[in-house]
Amino acid sequence: MPGQALYRKYRPRTFSEVVGQEHVTRTLQNALAAGRVVHAYLFSGPRGTGKTSTARILAKAVNCLAEEGEKPCNDCSICRSVDEGRLLDLIEIDAASHTGVDDIRDLREKIHFAPSEARYKFYIIDEAHMLSTSAFNALLKTLEEPPAHAYFVLATTAPHKIPATILSRCQRFDFRPIPMKKIVGRLEWIAEQEGVEVEREALELIARQATGSMRDADSLLDQVASSSDKKITLLQVQNILGTTSSQAVADLVASLAAREVSRGLHLINETIADGADPKQFGQEIIEYLRGVLLIKVAGQNPPDVTPESAQDMALRAKQFSLPGLLTTIRLFSQATLDKAAFPPHLPLELAFVEATLPETEKTPKADKTRAKSRPGPRHAKERRETASPPPAEAKVDKRLPSRETKDPQALERIENLWEGLLTQIKKRNMHVEALLKSCQPVAVEEDVVVLGFYYPFHKGRIEEPRCKGLVEEVLSQAVGQPYHIECVLLADRERRRESPKKGNLQAVKEDPLIKAALEMGGEITEVKSPPPEP
């Protein structure tokens, strides 16, 4: 589809062609029929929802020369010159451009001159909220006493930035994001006009990406059509837009619901390796979970999903507890905000792991009251007792890693510093901070602080030189002398103390934490022998 941009080529030319804004167009048509068109309108709404197009249609309609029938007729000389962009009496001002102020001054000087060709002068002020105070003042004087031969439409994406004095002079219409189904319908029609064959699923994906903006949808279709020659498939669109197949999203949510950690992490890695954008993937997961939530709490199918997807979502709605679902949505929302993460899909992995933790083991990450409830060693003991009661009384004490510390006061000092240290680290890298929440200082041995982790995944990340370096730097600063860190898996360490010789698979499987992880779908891939005792 070479040549003219699709969104220009297929700009709506009649009220009925404006997609998804019937509440506006119907009212305007009624006003036209009754001869009650007012002199100033405010069209507000997101970009690409048809504000300027509707204003142009209105400009044609008030000036249309047709004796009878629907206006605009799109056939008389006035309608045609508007469509061709050469009607002198239609003046479009882009308030966002640097000429905005001059244009308004010009408007004030010339508005009292009669129109040159049409019956009425028609002003469209785009991005009206960008006008300067002096321009608004100038405009206000005009709006207070508009000449009978002039109409105004102020279009804006930010109506709250328009002074109340101006607002009170205008009749306001709110344009809404266009529903996905309507965008698909319009895209289908455009594709037909262009003689391009597009899979329905491909159009749906484009429509979803456009998030309510017809202009964005048209541009995306343009982009996709120009980079493929024959039939446009869903796969092509996914590749071009860097989006994920809806199957990958559905599979991921299924493993979230079933708490299949290793499958979920594998899915994330596979999807990203296939070229999906992590942020995009995260957003699609949120969108899907939102559908599940809607089914769970309101018992209604989300709009814009296929019947198959709705069925799938209903299954998940039964698997998730409501608090669990809410937490999961929050965790993934947070994950998509982290722009500087390295590797980029790490936030998704963290969100996944955290979302699949049993309720009692979740680190209260999204919680503002975190400072009070961050799990210290005592919490950790409680948490683990809840998760899996220790088999024998004698083992309980041994399981408290902090008791092993040679210098208990040193550990206490670090524990007291810990919260502040996390705050410092968060300023440098919020990601490392998030990782650190899944561990706790368990021992201090000379200049080494031992950090205990519950999951190898978290431990592995902190051990990466970049993360480790940062933690050591901030730790040393906080304590006032150089410190190093050593990361241990709590299970390993405990085993080391309990029975140093036991490193076999059976012993590992018997560990309550490993058991829990296995039940959650984890796999044991390697059992390393514990380091020799000093």
Is the Cβ of residue 79 or residue 153 nearer to Zn ion in the bound state? 79
Is the Cβ of residue 73 or residue 410 nearer to Zn ion in the bound state? 73
In 249-405, beta strands by DSSP E: none
Question: How far apart are alpha carbons 213 and 221 in whole angstroms?
Answer: 12
Is the Cβ of residue 66 or residue 254 nearer to Zn ion in the bound state? 66
Is the Cβ of residue 119 or residue 381 nearer to Zn ion in the bound state? 119
Report whether 283 contacts 224 (CB < 8 A).
no
State in angstroms the smallest separation of the CB of 209 from Zn ion.
36
| Phi-psi region at 89: left, alpha or beta (left = phi > 0; alpha = psi -120 to 50) | alpha
Is the Cβ of residue 117 or residue 359 nearer to Zn ion in the bound state? 117
Is the Cβ of residue 66 or residue 478 nearer to Zn ion in the bound state? 66
Which uninterrupted H or E stretch holds 42? strand 40-44
Q: In what order do the strands lie in the sheet with 484-489?
A: 439-445, 448-453, 484-489
Is the Cβ of residue 60 or residue 458 nearer to Zn ion in the bound state? 60
List the one residue out of 442, 460, 444, 463 whose CA is nearest residue 452: 442
State in angstroms the smallest separation of the CB of 36 from Zn ion.
20
State in angstroms the smallest separation of the CB of 24 from Zn ion.
20
Question: How far apart are alpha carbons 438 and 467 in whole angstroms?
Answer: 14
Is the Cβ of residue 62 or residue 140 nearer to Zn ion in the bound state? 62
Is the Cβ of residue 76 or residue 258 nearer to Zn ion in the bound state? 76
Is the Cβ of residue 118 or residue 190 nearer to Zn ion in the bound state? 118
Question: How far apart are alpha carbons 25 and 72 in whole angstroms?
Answer: 12
Please give the C-alpha separations between residue 499 and each of 399, 429, 452, in angstroms, as whole numbers.
Answer: 12, 38, 18
Q: Which residues bind Zn ion (CB under 5 A)?
A: 64, 66, 72-73, 76, 79
Report whether 520 contacts 261 (CB < 8 A).
yes
Is the Cβ of residue 79 or residue 467 nearer to Zn ion in the bound state? 79
Question: How far apart are alpha carbons 120 and 211 in whole angstroms?
Answer: 36
Question: How far apart are alpha carbons 508 and 390 in whole angstroms?
Answer: 15
Position of tokens 């039940």? 519
* Secondary structure (3-state) at 443: strand
Report whether 70 contacts 14 (CB < 8 A).
yes
Position of tokens 């898996």? 489
In the chain the first and final C-alpha atoms are separated, in Å, by 73
| Phi-psi region at 143: left, alpha or beta (left = phi > 0; alpha = psi -120 to 50) | alpha
Position of tokens 């004796």? 67
Let me know how long the chain is: 534
Is the Cβ of residue 79 or residue 107 nearer to Zn ion in the bound state? 79
State in angstroms the smallest separation of the CB of 64 from Zn ion.
3
Report whether 300 contacts 267 (CB < 8 A).
no
State in angstroms the smallest separation of the CB of 88 from Zn ion.
16
State in angstroms the smallest separation of the CB of 73 from Zn ion.
4
Question: How far apart are alpha carbons 72 and 420 in whole angstroms?
Answer: 67
Question: How far apart are alpha carbons 15 and 27 in whole angstroms?
Answer: 10
Is the Cβ of residue 59 or residue 285 nearer to Zn ion in the bound state? 59
Concatenated DSSP letters of 183-236: HHHHHHHHHHHHT--B-HHHHHHHHHHTTT-HHHHHHHHHHHHHT-SS-B-HHH
Q: Checking DSSP bridges between strand 150-156 and strand 439-445, what pairing results, if any?
A: unpaired
Q: Which residue type sits at 262?
A: S
State in angstroms the smallest separation of the CB of 117 from Zn ion.
13
* Secondary structure (3-state) at 420: helix
List the one residue out of 325, 337, 353 whose CA is nearest residue 431: 337
